[in-house]
C-alpha cells in the first residue's frame, strides 16, 4: 500500500511536467489553462479612469477564475473517487494474491511433511530438477 501511495504521489508530482508537454485529456480540461492574471494599473501613478478599467478587468478575470475553479474542484472530486476505487481494487487483488500465496505455501509444506516429495524426484513440488 505504501508503494502504491508513493507511486500515486510521484505521478501527481510529475503530472504538471506531463501536462506541460501535451494537451490535457478532456477530463482535465477544467483544471488546465487557467487565465493568466491581468496586468493591473499601478495605484501610485494611475488616474481614476485607469483604476476603473483595472477594476473591470480584474472583476472579469476573478469571476472567470472562480467559475473555472468550481469546475476543476468537481473534476478533482470525481477523479479522486475513481482513483480510490482503483486503489481499493488493487488492494483487494493484493490481499487475494497474498492469501493464495500463503495457502499455497501451507499446502506445499503439508505435502512435503507427509513425504509426498523427495528432493531426488524429478518434477516434484518445489524440487530442483537439476539433481
Encode pLDDT of 103-119 as tens digits. Answer: 999 999 999 999 875 55
Q: Scan for cell 518445489, then name that residue.
A: 126
Give Dmax (Cα) for the chain. 97
- Whether residue 36 is predicted with pLDDT greater than 90 in this model: the reply is yes
Which tens digit of pLDDT belongs to each residue from 46-100?
A: 999 999 999 999 999 999 999 999 999 999 999 999 999 999 999 999 999 999 9
d(CA 73, CA 81): 12
Alpha-carbon distance 110 to 104, whole Å? 10
pTM score: 0.56
Amino acid at each position: 500500500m505504501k508503494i502504491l501511495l508513493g507511486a500515486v504521489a510521484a505521478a501527481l508530482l510529475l503530472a504538471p511536467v506531463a501536462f506541460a508537454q501535451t494537451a490535457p485529456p478532456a477530463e482535465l480540461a477544467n483544471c488546465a489553462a487557467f487565465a493568466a492574471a491581468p496586468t493591473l494599473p499601478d495605484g501610485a501613478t494611475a488616474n481614476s479612469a485607469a483604476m476603473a478599467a483595472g477594476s473591470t478587468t480584474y472583476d472579469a478575470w476573478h469571476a472567470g477564475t472562480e467559475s473555472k475553479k468550481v469546475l476543476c474542484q468537481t473534476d478533482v472530486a470525481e477523479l479522486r473517487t475513481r482513483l480510490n476505487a482503483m486503489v481499493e481494487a488493487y488492494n483487494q487483488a493484493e490481499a487475494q494474491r497474498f492469501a493464495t500465496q500463503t495457502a499455497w505455501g501451507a499446502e506445499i509444506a503439508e505435502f512435503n511433511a507427509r513425504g509426498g516429495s523427495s528432493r531426488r524426484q524429478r518434477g516434484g513440488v518445489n524440487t530442483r530438477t537439476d539433481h
